[in-house]
Amino acid sequence: MLTVEEALEKILEEVDVLGTEYVHILDSLGQVLAEDIKSSIDVPPLDNSAMDGFAVRAEDTRGADEKTPKYLKVTDTILAGSVSRQEVMPGTTMRIMTGAPIPKGADSVVQFEHTDSEKDKNAARAGIMEQARPGLNVRKAGENITRGAIALKKGTVIRPSEIGLLASVGYSKVKVIRRPVVAVLSTGNELVDVGNPLPEGKIYDSNLYAIASLVKRYGGIPKVLGLARDDEAELISKLKQAQDSDMVITTGGVSMGDYDMVKDIIARDGRMVFWKVRVKPGKPLAFGKIKGTDKSGRERTIPHLGLPGNAVSCMVSFELFVRPALLKMMGKKNIGKPTVLAILEDDIKNDAGRRIYDRAIIEKRNGHYYARLTGPQGSGILTSMALANGLVLIPEEKLTVKKGETVQALMLDWNEEVNV
């Protein structure tokens, strides 16, 4: 049976970085830049004031202090966004607001707090009580970004600060690697969609919504296909609707049951790459490629991940195998979840001989990370997942891990909401 690492490698080999698109900057959060961003302007465009105060010629303030102010004639007021048409002549000054361009003649700004005119907007003269050096409180044109410089490099992951930077150089649209469209389909005769009454013997389909929201969380666009019964014709017809997507995820129907037919359909209609991974939860993971078409109708193959049906198994499999594939498709380089070393607060038995990922609450106390299990670890117990902010990893060969031992923990939520 493949190890987690071997299985992941096979998946990553079969997925490619997607093409590019132009999007409005506000829609680009989390995407990867597909072009260098060259600035056509200086940022800031002009020398401007870092303070509310008086624009002065530094030489006019020589010797000024609180006891011996230098008095200058006030000739203008410059607001942020406007330019004074006048010049600061010797012996004169202008009121200037933060961000307003430095007027001709001035080389420095004395903040209001160091003058006698803090309050009086209409004073005809100002007493300057500080000796300014040239450049005092002046933000130089281009000190942030100079015209012609690369403001952001191709390959950068766009975060809020990058979006701000794009706006500051005047970009409204940006070329990025597009988001993968991921078709999501649940399989099983027992499933009922939310919003309907629950007949005897049935359960609500939770995987569809958990998986679609994982797709969203990691930057993909879920294409929700709904659910299919364990019926070949119905499965095939539903999968037809996935033909133009970049990836297909099904849940259920990959175990040993009489009606587990997802892997047969992958094999018949496409190519199976592997079935089963040495991991718990999530052993019966199936991976293959099925036939699809691109936008212009040309044939291509689409990666199909057949996740196990159990509610926890499919989510853990997603974190381990689907997430890295999606990130690779989006052009990201850093595709692993952050991990920490944590001191275990429970004993864990490994009777499966597989790599175990147990749901845990990971907390930092006195400079150390601690991990405690979120209760029963059955692979259908979704509440154990809802309580967890991480997964502790027990190696394949290790039969028991005792309280107090240090284990590797994979962080699912890093500084996000933790429901404990």
The radius of gyration computed from the CA coordinates of the chain, to the nearest angstrom, equals: 31
CB under 6 A: which stretch of 74-82, 132-140, 212-220, 302-310 binds ligand AMP?
302-310
Q: Contacts with ligand AMP: how many residues (CB under 6 A)?
A: 21
> Binding partner of residue 191 among ligand AMP, Mg ion, none, CB under 5 to 8 Å per kind?
ligand AMP
253 binds ligand AMP (CB under 6 A): yes
Determine which residue in the list 103, 180, 252, 282 makes contact with Mg ion, applying CB under 5 A.
252
CB under 5 A: which stretch of 114-122, 192-200, 309-317, 395-403 binds Mg ion?
309-317
Rounded CA gap, 112 and 49, in Å?
A: 12
List C-alpha distances in Å: 319 to 271, 322, 338, 351.
23, 6, 12, 23
Q: Contacts with Mg ion: how many residues (CB under 5 A)?
A: 4
Amino acid sitting at position 420: V
Rounded CA gap, 8 and 337, in Å?
A: 13
Helical H segments across 241-322, by residue range: 262-269, 311-317
CB under 6 A: which stretch of 24-32, 134-142, 292-300, 308-316 binds ligand AMP?
308-316
> Binding partner of residue 186 among Mg ion, ligand AMP, none, CB under 5 to 8 Å per kind?
ligand AMP
CB under 5 A: which stretch of 122-130, 239-247, 253-261, 376-384 binds Mg ion?
253-261
Rounded CA gap, 365 and 228, in Å?
A: 47
What residues between 162 and 221 interact with ligand AMP by CB under 6 A? 186, 188, 190-191, 203, 205-208
Q: Indicate the helix (H) or strand (E) that contains 387.
A: helix 382-387
**Residue whose CB is less far from Mg ion, 118 or 231:** 231
CB under 6 A: which stretch of 4-12, 247-255, 334-342, 358-366 binds ligand AMP?
247-255
Q: How far is the CB of 257 from ligand AMP (least distance, A)?
A: 5
Determine which residue in the list 151, 261, 311, 410 makes contact with ligand AMP, applying CB under 6 A.
311
Determine which residue in the list 292, 308, 324, 331 makes contact with ligand AMP, applying CB under 6 A.
308
Q: How far is the CB of 183 from Mg ion (least distance, A)?
A: 18
Rounded CA gap, 252 and 261, in Å?
A: 9
Helical H segments across 169-322, by residue range: 207-217, 232-240, 262-269, 311-317
Site string for Mg ion, 172-201 (x = CB under 5 A): ----------------x-------------
Residue 382 is encoded by which pair of tokens? 């979704």
**Residue whose CB is less far from ligand AMP, 56 or 235:** 235
What residues between 366 and 405 interact with ligand AMP by CB under 6 A? 380
> Binding partner of residue 207 among ligand AMP, Mg ion, none, CB under 5 to 8 Å per kind?
ligand AMP
Helical H segments across 141-229, by residue range: 160-168, 207-217
SS3 110: strand
Contacts of 387 (CB under 8 A, 6+ apart): 359, 361, 374, 375, 419, 420
Residue 339 is encoded by which pair of tokens? 């991990």
Determine which residue in the list 28, 251, 377, 389 makes contact with ligand AMP, applying CB under 6 A.
251
* Dihedral, 89, 95, 100, 104 alpha carbons, nearest 10: 0
> Binding partner of residue 255 among ligand AMP, Mg ion, none, CB under 5 to 8 Å per kind?
ligand AMP
SS3 302: strand
> Binding partner of residue 79 among Mg ion, ligand AMP, none, CB under 5 to 8 Å per kind?
none
**Residue whose CB is less far from Mg ion, 88 or 239:** 239
**Residue whose CB is less far from ligand AMP, 248 or 330:** 248
Q: Which residues of 228-238 are buried (b: 16+ CB within 10 A; e: fewer)?
A: bebeeeebeeb
**Residue whose CB is less far from Mg ion, 110 or 262:** 262
Q: Are strands 125-128 and 70-78 parallel, antiparallel or unpaired?
A: antiparallel
Q: Checking phi first, is residue 215 left (phi over 0); if not, alpha (psi -120 to 50) or beta?
A: alpha
Q: How far is the CB of 292 from ligand AMP (least distance, A)?
A: 23
**Residue whose CB is less far from Mg ion, 41 or 382:** 382
Amino acid sitting at position 311: A
Contacting residues toward Mg ion, per CB under 5 A: 188, 252-253, 309
**Rule CB under 6 A: which residues touch ligand AMP?**
186, 188, 190-191, 203, 205-208, 251-255, 257, 260, 308-311, 380
